[in-house]
Amino acid sequence: MPRKFELKRATNGQFHFNFKANNGQVILSSELYKAKASATNGIESVQMNAPHDDRYNRLTSTKQEPYFVLKAANGEIVGTSEMYSSIQAMENGISSVKTNAPGAPTEDLS
């Protein structure tokens, strides 16, 4: 299973996307968008911003689990990662997004 974006419709009718690794695990998730075109723009924003290390905020949850958010040049969050078991695992997730998101295909499941 290649790395890809999956564009989906939520139960409330809004749209969102996930960036998935080769093993099918979600690396990055978007917020909900009212319009499908906005979600598509969000995918394009991830692809554009992914290579830039300064666009990643490395954070820790209240349960002390590392995770990251990817921001656009304007500071808007375009994706949030899953929680990781270690800082190294989080860095591996960031590396995967940097390397694979720019050319990843989108599967429209909406």
- The model's pLDDT over 11-60, given as tens digits with 9 standing for 90+, comes to 999 999 999 988 899 999 999 999 999 999 999 999 999 999 999 999 99
Structurally, the chain folds into a number of domains equal to 1
Q: Tell me the residue range of the domain where 23 lies.
A: 4-108
If pLDDT is split at 50, 70 and 90, which confidence band does 1 have? Answer: low
Q: Any idea what the CATH number is for the domain that residue 33 is in? A: 2.30.29.80
> Is residue 103 over pLDDT 80?
yes
> Is residue 9 over pLDDT 70?
yes
Neighbouring CB atoms inside 10 A of 43's CB total 20
pTM score, whole prediction: 0.93
pLDDT number for residue 23: 87
pLDDT number for residue 76: 94
Neighbouring CB atoms inside 10 A of 55's CB total 20
CA distances from 82 to 68, 85, 93, 98 (A): 8, 10, 9, 16
Over residues 48-83, the pLDDT tens digits come to 999 999 999 999 999 999 999 999 999 999 999 999
